[in-house]
Amino acid sequence: MGVLPLQALSDELQQRGHCVSVHDIFDPDHIPEALIHEAFHADVLVGWSLGGQLAVTLSHYLLTHDQQIKPVITLASNPCFVASSDWPHAMPVQAFDQFQQQYLNESQATLKQFYFNVCRGDQQAKAQWQKLVTDLSKPNESLYTQGLHWLQQLDVREVLQTIPSHHIFAQKDQLVPIAAMHALQQQYSCEVMQGMSHAFPVFHAQETAMRIQHYLQRL
């Protein structure tokens, strides 16, 4: 959805004294050099949804190439978005394949439904959905198609073990089941946003910023 939905969270964090740079999704197999350089000088990497997986990937890259340890905070992110035999806490393969095919056949209608699923679970879901539909610019079709491929292929569970991380989930997330948090909290620092949807970093920016800051203060 681009960087616009995260502007309110960026503003909240900056008001709390943090320097924030927001980036769109990127190819995890060919990370842009400019992003690597910026991440090298950052204190922490934060990612929402697919961005959480990419933040973990970027942190692992810095560890293996530059011996830099960069903590990661993920927001409503599943280390493996599509279910498998050893990770059932995700979207079923059939459901993902169906969504992908619908997007390829009818992108605009599918995106509207996707935006609603992002908001579904929040008490203000309809109003939030209408705001997303109104505010978001025309999608980058090629980037969306690539993003679907990355969601389907990325599995960062193994590299997650090599970096410090904190994971914030939403109780009523319709895209990342809360079972993913229950599985991760056996090994990692996790917390849950009660009564919120996948879109909590967008529409509950103040509380999200507060949770991020609390974790940073413990580092």
- Please tell me which residue in 49, 77, 165, 197 is annotated as part of the active site: 49
Quickly count: other Cβ atoms within 10 Å of residue 68's Cβ.
14
> Could you tell me if 154 and 57 are in contact, meaning their C-beta atoms sit under 8 angstroms apart?
yes
Q: Which entry of 60, 167, 198, 204 is annotated as an active-site residue?
A: 198
| Burial status of residue 152 (CB atoms within 10 A of its CB: 0-12, 13-18, 19 or more) | middle
Is residue 142 annotated as part of the catalytic site, yes or no? no
Separation CA 203–CA 9 (nearest Å): 9
Token representation of residue 133: 């539909």
Of 60, 122, 173, 204, which residue is the catalytic one? 173
**165 is known as an active-site residue:** no
49 is catalytic: yes
The two structure tokens encoding residue 49? 């949804």
Q: How far apart are the first and last CA of the chain?
A: 30
Catalytic residue ranges: 49, 173, 198
